[in-house]
Structure 1
Amino acid sequence: MTSTSSKHQDLQSLDTLTGGAFTAPTSGERAQRIREWLAANPSPDQMQEVFKELSGRDKGAARLLREKLDEIKRAKGQEAIAAEWAQKAEALLAQSKLNIADALAWQRDAAKAGAPLSREPLAGFKVQLAERVKGIEDLQHRAQVQREAAVLLAQRFEVLSTKGWRDAQAAEEGLRADVTHWQQQATELTADANWNSLDAKFAPQIDASKAQLLVVSDAFHGALAQAIAAAADTAAPLPPVPVWADELRAARGLPTEAAAAAPAKPAGPKIDPEKRAAAQAAVEVALAKLEQETAEGHGKASAGAAAALRAVLKEHGKQVDAALEARVHAALVAAGELEGWQRWSADKVREDLVAKAEGLLKRPEGQALGGRKIQESLRTLREQWKKADQGGVPNHALWKRFDEACNEAHKVVEAWLDKVRADAAEHRAHRVALIEEVKAWAEAHASASDLKAHNRALHQFADRWRDGGHVGEKVFAELQPLWNAAFGAARAPLETAQAASIERRQAMIAEATDLGAQPMLRIDAVKALQQRWQAEAQSVPLDRRQEQKLWDAFRAPIDEAFNRKTAEREKASTAMSEHDRNVLEASKALDAANASGDVQKIRAAVAQLEAALRGEAPARPAPAPVPAPVTSGSDGPAVGATEIVAPGQAAAEFGEGASVQPVPGETEAPPPVAAPEPDEAGQIAAPAPSGDLIAPVGSADFSARADEGDNAAAATPAAPPKAAPKPVVAARRGDDRPGSRKAEPAGPAGRFGDRRDSRSGPGGRPNDRGPRAGGPGGDRFGDRPPRFEDRGPRLGDTAFRAQREALERADLALRKLAAQAHGEALTHLLGAWEKRDASELPSVQELGRAVTPAVRTTWTQAVAKPPSGDAGEALLRLEMAAEVPTPADQIDARRALQLKLLTKRGDPAPAQTWGEDAGKVLASAHDAATARRLQNALKALLRK
């Protein structure tokens, strides 16, 4: 008990510490409060305690703490690594002789070890080492430049020794100053702090260049002094420079040394022809090889062939003729050019590769490459560099730049690889935990009854496995069999139930096939079978495609049976009744009237269609002969059940069951034919045989009513027609409810529950439809109207749709014509006002029912007079009556008028005096703005 209370107190304290993270209702709120708490930089101990308690409650919120703790752990590890590499950097900087390779290797190895090179103190050491390396490289470059400068100075001395001694004397002072300056620079190089860090070859090179330059300089100055002395004194010795000595001999009038010492050219020894031919053949073979390699563009092969040709030429060069020697020199020149072109081409390729390597990290912010892309790019660039080295002489300077750029870009790859390894380890642990969770879940739900929940959980496990993150191929190959085994064990109960469900569904498919093959479709059996199928589908889930395939196989025979039933029903209803034909003809006549655009024709056609709908016969060209007395049909009600005194009224009063007889002198109305209706079992009753009397179809006791009609027909004679036409009504005799006897008058006795009305005559009648208009007691106080409106006989689908669409089109045409007439009348009104011509004013019929003759007379008088008065207030009253907006500049005036009207409660409102206000406007002068406002107001008022 004490431990439980202490744990509860700890949770409360942790909840208070984290700002309510433990008591938050949702995972998102817990994560948000953990983020806010972590923003305050809590101590690692507090974070560890909160993580320990929260990891078992909300893994999503605990992940934030785990990431923060991992970050702190990595930071501590990086501090130790940083201290270690800082010591190594200090040791390198403390050396008097620093090796550039060691400095570069420190940065590369530190990055591989994960040292934070971007933070202090490693960032400072990195900069110091880079500056030290740069200083050493600059010193090396200066040493190389100094050596080249010494060579150039020596070449200047040599060039001056080939010119006259007077030119050398003029340039002597400049050369002496340049030599002195070179010596000072060489001394500065050796005094630099980084001189000891240079390669050992640089110090001997500088010393040798210095010694050589001093020797050449001393010899030049000594020879020049001797030449000056010889020019002044002819007895003085000549200088050792041949050009100067010849110049002085020429000045003294003596022959030059070359002319005096030129001996006669001895004749060459005779060469053996066989040796000459062998030498010629050897040189030609080497020459052909070189020419072939040069023509094919092989740089390295042509260089080897050229070397072989030089070796052969050194051995047999004295024995070849001049033509072959010229070919040899031309081939050697071409091979040298090819070798130089190959070197230049390879350098161009290397420079492009260096630019690409340096550009891997110099991309815009939104176009930076990821670790994988950089890794693939580095691999490709290094392969291309190897191919470039194979085709030409290596270039160490470009290789150094390329290697540095690749190493710098590889830091991003290493960071990405570290992240990939960490993510892969985390994903592997997550997948292993998921496999264990599936195993435990499978053991706990081995006998599950809710298969839908079982299937849903399996889908969730599969989604979690699919979204478990990337792992290597080796790890995936290791984990996939374990997952398949665990998931298969979890899925085994569902697969067993699915196999049994498929068998049951196959049995129901066979049962549905048997039901569909029966001649009479049993609706109750079909419904029961469908309910069984739905119950099975809801209890045992299947794969969507398999379930759809089974469902299609199940419904196919039932759909086929229903389609067969529908075809039979449509075949039975294809014979259109006389009433439907009359309605169709009236609908077509109404469409023709709509096309004509004549309002009178449209209204007359609508009246004819409504009469056809009520069952009234259309006018015939010739009167039909008077029919014989009507006899009852086998399915119709008894003759005399309803006394007919006018055509169409009985049908409107009593519906389809009333018999209609024509009045002498009028056209006979065709008997209405009722459309068949399905009964409760989904069957369609067979249509009644053609006859003068049709019984109503659709009642449950149709056969009983038919039998009663047959019995009543024998006892009751047909009612004779009246002698003269007069206003008539339909008189009801007896009760036509199912089960009643139509031939006998209704007595006081009736079925249980019938209500009798004393006003209906002796004994009353059932109060099911209310009193008939014009019947006994029809005009007395308290009589109720008929319950059903006069809709006429029942229509078929084709006739019903045709008359409905025809009426809709007629209504739309009438509306369009009315709007058009209204707009034309309003236009004529404004035109009469503008011309001040009362004869052009529209008539009362054109203006509509909203304008009385008195109002039109007022408008006529206003238009006929010269313009006078102000129409401002009248326009405002018109706009208020029509409820249309007022122009912006008249808003204040309208508000003032509204306030004024509020103070005069006894005055009529603008809606009552709009005709007089319109007359005031018409009496004023015409103007475009006023006419526009008047038109907007009258457009609304004339429609009311």
Structure 2
Amino acid sequence: MPTNESAVSTLKTHDTQALDTLTGGAFSAPTSGERAARVRDWLARDPSAEQMQEVFRELSARDKGAARLLREKLDEIKRAKGQEAIAAEWAEKARQLLAQPRLNIADAMAWQRDAAKAGAPLSREPLAGVKTQLADRVKGIEDLQTRVQVQREAAVLLAQRIEVLSTKSWKDAEAAAEALRADVPQWQSQAQGLLDDPNWASVDAKFPPLLDASRGQLQVVWDAFQSALAQASAAATDATAPLPPVPVWADELRQARGLPPEAAPTPKAAKPKVDPEVRAKANQAVQDALSKVEQEVAQGHGKASAGAANALRNALKEHGKLVDDKLEQHAHAALAAATELEGWQRWRADQLRQELVAKAEALFEPVAPATPPAAATANTDAAATAEAEAVSPAAAPEPPPARKPRYGGRKMQETLRSLREQWKQVDQGGPPNHALWKRFDEACNEAYKVVQEWLDKVKTEAAEHRAARVGLIEEVKAWAAAHADAPNGDWKSFNRALHQFSDRWREAGHLSEKAFAELQPQWKEAIGQAAAPLDRAQKASIERRNALIEEAKALGEAPMLRIDAVKSLQQRWQAEAQSVPLDRKQEQKLWDAFRKPIDEAFNRKTQEREKAAASMSARDRAVLDASRSVEEATASGDAQKIRSAMAALEQALKARDDAQAAAAPAAAAPEAAAAPAAEATETEAAAAPAGGEGEGEAAAAAPAAPAKAAPKPVIARRGDDRPGQKRPETQVPAGRGKFGDSRRPGPGGRDARDDRRGGFGRDRDDRREDRGPRLGDAAFRAQRDALDHAQQALRKLAAQAHGEALTQLMTAWEQRSGEQVPSHQELGKVVNPQVRQGWVQALGQGPSGDASEALLRLEIAADVPTPAEQIAARRQMQLQLLTKRHEPGPQETWGADVGKVLASGYDAGAARRLQNALKNLLRR
């Protein structure tokens, strides 16, 4: 009966196989690049998001590189869904703007700007369509406003044409009247077309009055012209008919009747003379009021301009009879401009107020109703239906929608303050609007409830924080009274307790500035009393440390640095530092002062050593140069260069100094001459006369010492350990007794052991000299680091080559190409040429045989895990191998087993198993 683990494993295997079939082999592909290619091909077929999520969940645990394509696709789908939601939201806002009968151009432009800031895809539908509609609507409104201005100019031109005809003959006017009878109605129809345009309600508020004024003015001029022309035509045919009111036409008709020209009109009565001072004062008063009006109009202050205009009107009422005509006309023109600005400013102020009202009402956002579970909904359908039928709409009004504040207390308070300040600024620039103010004030009052609740909470917390701080002050006072006579022992615990009190004070919560200023002096006084014993102990410790610093200075200035005294002084400092804690900065400052003289003394010794070792030998320089060459070769990543550089470094390490090599032959002669002299007895040395020439010549002519015999080679002999065989008897040299006497004197008074080992002490010195003199510190460290880095780089390159060789071997198996089998050098020394040739021959033949048993032997030889479905077969084979004692094991036949696997057909799973086994086998 299978276990739960095997069932889960089988289920996962089936799921993986189904996903592998779905993705076209993305899970069974041998390499990461092939898996990514198959995933890319599968994504090109537009799979569903659920399928991609399932494949990503399984593939991310196997190959993160191939799973990255799925993650990017899923992220793209998620972003697309988010953009669709944003696009739907802003499309609905745009449709609401388009549905309004009056569209504000600023709102339409703000929609596009805000949508772009929110990340809405304006270039895709449906936003592209509504954006085009809004742009067309705005363009239509702007074109309509431009047409109004053009129409106004056309009306002025028509009126000027009519006025010019009044200065000419009435017959010329009658001839031009036909064209005017077509142009004036056409202008009127065009003006009416502007009024009938769907976008007329959205034009700026200043344009409709301009068009109406132009229509009225043109109609008045045209009616007067037609009436005067009809009257002139009647007077031309009837001498008794009245003359037209146009002076030029009346004179022409009067002349045609033979009547004298009309007498000149009576001149207007001149104004009575006024005192120049009074006139100047009146002009000055009107001019001041006029300047104020012009200033306010130029700055665009509608509300201030209205007050200045009233002041100017009052000045004209009071001094209108005394001011000049030019100044009076200028004042009337300024009043007209102020009236127009006041109307525009009122409209703009209302626009700003509406925006502020919308912001105030948006401080609360609606809460979506919670959706009941499906089961609960199904169970309560009947009850809800019965209740809905029993209760009438009038008896059960719909509750208002739930809303929640958008901001917390502090943010809400700052937002309300900002909104009210903006409302005040708008009121200063335009007349008030009480209806909008009522809406704004109600929204702000509703939002202020959140602020009031937050303020109450803050007051409650402040009271709690104050009580906690007062309690902490009392606790510190009680602790200080209990520890007033603190012992000279554990000052660290005493200091730790003080720090804990300080931390609790800092974390005791927020207080107002007034309350904190009241409690802070009390806290300082209480904590100061508690810390008084520690302050006294710290003062005494500082005095003791200063004394230790003086001792350190004396030790540092001594000509000979005493290491034992330095260690004793440092131990005393450590004991003092561990007994009484100080402030970190002060303690570090004292420690630096204590350490400085001792460090200077050690630095002097180091400098002396460096001066002594400054003269670097030629061998050290050669080793340093060779070490640099090894580092450069290691950085290049070329294994051949690295090995060559390492060989050069080894040669430099074995080389001797030039001076020492030159001195070696000269030193050999005294050494050889010293050998026979050492054999001379003391009696012979005493009998020789001192300083004699003959003796000196005899000594010089003494025969040279015999050459030292070559050491006897050591021959290793293997004993016969077969049963019944005797061990070879060893002969004990004569004179050694039972244990061998190694103290027998030899020739020349030396021990026999010196003869046996051939002067071991001297040979050891000779071997040490053969290795060369000792390296300096810099050269030794340089060659050691260079060799470490080079060996690490070689291991890394070997691992890379090993992986490439395995990949090439798997490719050769898949394509059954013996030529692609890696070379003997690439496979390593564990694979001899015969084994490699067997692999090539296996690939040259057609697929044959079963590789399951060979794969199990290879996994046993490499000691690597076996797939779960093959574990039983591996255990059975291990049992069989235990029974076959005289047959070669898998560790001995793994080369042939690889050939059997390569001779079989290629399989991706078998390739992975073979590659895992060869990773360990080729490294041995």
Shorter-chain TM-score bucket reads 0.3 to 0.5
TM-score (norm 2): 0.47
Bigger radius of gyration: 1
